[in-house]
Structure 1
Amino acid sequence: MSKLPLVTLETADDLAQPILNHAKTNFGMIPNFFAAIGIDGASLSGFLTFQETLNNHAQLTAKQRELIALTVANYNGCHYCVSGHTFSAKRAGLTPDECIDAQKGKSEDTKGQAIIDLALNILKTNAHLTDEMLASAKSNGITDQEIIQITALTALNTLSNWVNNIVEPTIDFPKVDLIPNP
C-alpha cells in the first residue's frame, strides 16, 4: 500500500486531471507513478514537460537515456523505477543483460560507460565534478551539450525516484530486483 494516497481522476486537481485522463486513454490505465507525482498537478505537469522537451531535443539516443534512468534508479534505490525503466529500456532495444549491467553502473559500449560514469559522478558528488571527471567524459566522446543533458536527465530521474521512494506506489510493471550499489 502506498504511503500517500494516489490521486485518481476524481481526486486530481485541475492540472493533473487532463494529464491523467490522457494517460488512461494511452495506456488503458493510469500508471501508479503518474498517480503518485500527480498528487500535485504542477509537479506532474512540470515533470512531463521537462521530460518531453529533453526527449524531443535529445542529443542522446533512447538507449543512452535508458542507461541513465536504470543507473540512477538503482543508485537511488527506486524499485518502481528500476522495474519501469527495465520495461522501457527493453522496448528501446537494450537486452536484459544490458539492463542489469546498467543497474550495476556498467556498459560494454565505451560511450555508454562514459555516460553512466558521468551520471554516477553527478550523483556521488552532488554535481561537484572534478576537472578529471569532465576530461574523462570528453575524452570518451561526450560533448558539452551532452554533459548538460546527462545532468538534466540525472536530475529528472532522481525526482521520479524520490517521489516513488516517498509514496511507494505498487509496481505496475514486471518487477525487477534492485542490485546493491558497489
Structure 2
Amino acid sequence: MNRMTPVTVDSADPVATPILEGFKTQYGMIPNFFAALGVDGASLSAYLNFAKALEENDLLTERLREMIALAVANANGCHYCVSGHTFSGKKAGLSPEDCIAAQCGKAEDAREQAALTLALRLIEARGHLEDAELAGAREAGLSEPQIVQICAWTGLNAFSNWINNLARPKIDFPKVPLQP
C-alpha cells in the first residue's frame, strides 16, 4: 500500500515530468518506484544521473551489480527492490538460487563474495571498515576503483531501498520474499 501519493505525468513537477514521460514511452507505464521517487523531480533526476554515470563507466559486471542490489535490499528490508532485482538479476544471468544466495550475502565465486561482504559491511559499519576488511577485499582481487564503485552502488541501492520503505509503492514485479 502506498504511503505517499505517487506522481503521474500530469501531477509531476517540471523536472520529473519529462523523465516520467520517457518511462511511459519506453515501458508503456511508469514503474511504481519512479512514481514514488518522482514526487521530487530533483531527487529522481539525481538518482538516474548517478546510476547512468556509474553504468557508463562501470568496473563491475551487471551480474555483480545485481547481486549487490539484492544483498543491500535484503539487508534494508526492501521487499520492492528484492523483487525487482530478482527479476532483473535473472536477465543478468543469475539463477533463482543465485538470487536467494545474494540476498543472504553469499556467492560461490570468491571475488563476488568479497564484493557482497564489502557492500554489507559498508551498510553495517556506515563505511567505517577495519583495515583488515579493506585488505581482504583487495586480496580477493578487487581494485581500489572497484571498491569505490561497490560503495557507490551500495549507496545508490540503499537510497532506493529507503524511498521504497518510506513510500511503500505497489510491487510491479513477481513478489519475492525477503530472506532471514
How high is the TM-score relative to the length of structure 1?
Answer: 0.98
Q: How many equivalent residue pairs?
A: 180
CA distance in 1, matches of 2:99, 2:57: 24
The aligned amino acid for 2:11 is: T
Q: Secondary structure at the match of 2:173?
A: coil
Is 1:8 the equivalent of 2:8? Answer: yes
Q: Pairwise mapping of residues 105-120 of structure 1 onto structure 2 (< 5 A)?
A: 105-120=105-120
CA distance in 2, matches of 1:38, 1:60: 28
**What's the CA shift string for 1:9-59, capped at 9, x where partnerless?**
111000100000100111111000000100000000000000011011000
Q: Percent identity?
A: 55
Cα deviation for residue 119 of structure 1 reads 0.2
CA distance in 1, matches of 2:70, 2:76: 10
Q: Which runs of at least 4 in structure 1 moved beyond 6 Å after TM superposition?
A: none
CA distance in 1, matches of 2:174, 2:21: 23
How high is the TM-score relative to the length of structure 2?
Answer: 0.99
CA distance in 2, matches of 1:141, 1:27: 38
| Equivalence for 2:60 | 60
Cα deviation for residue 178 of structure 1 reads 0.4
Cα deviation for residue 66 of structure 1 reads 0.5
CA distance in 2, matches of 1:25, 1:100: 32
CA RMSD of aligned residues (A): 0.5
| Equivalence for 1:154 | 154
Is 1:34 the equivalent of 2:34? Answer: yes
Unaligned ranges ≥5, structure 1: none
CA distance in 2, matches of 1:112, 1:26: 32
Cα deviation for residue 155 of structure 1 reads 0.3
Cα deviation for residue 78 of structure 1 reads 0.2
| Equivalence for 2:22 | 22
**What's the CA shift string for 1:107-149, capped at 9, x where partnerless?**
0111110000000110110000110100100000000001100
Is 1:100 the equivalent of 2:100? Answer: yes
CA distance in 2, matches of 1:91, 1:15: 30
CA distance in 2, matches of 1:178, 1:59: 28
Q: Secondary structure at the match of 2:21?
A: helix
Is 1:142 the equivalent of 2:142? Answer: yes
Q: Pairwise mapping of residues 77-92 of structure 1 onto structure 2 (< 5 A)?
A: 77-92=77-92
The aligned amino acid for 2:133 is: M
The aligned amino acid for 1:157 is: N
The aligned amino acid for 1:56 is: E
The aligned amino acid for 2:7 is: V
Q: Secondary structure at the match of 1:129?
A: coil
CA distance in 2, matches of 1:173, 1:28: 15
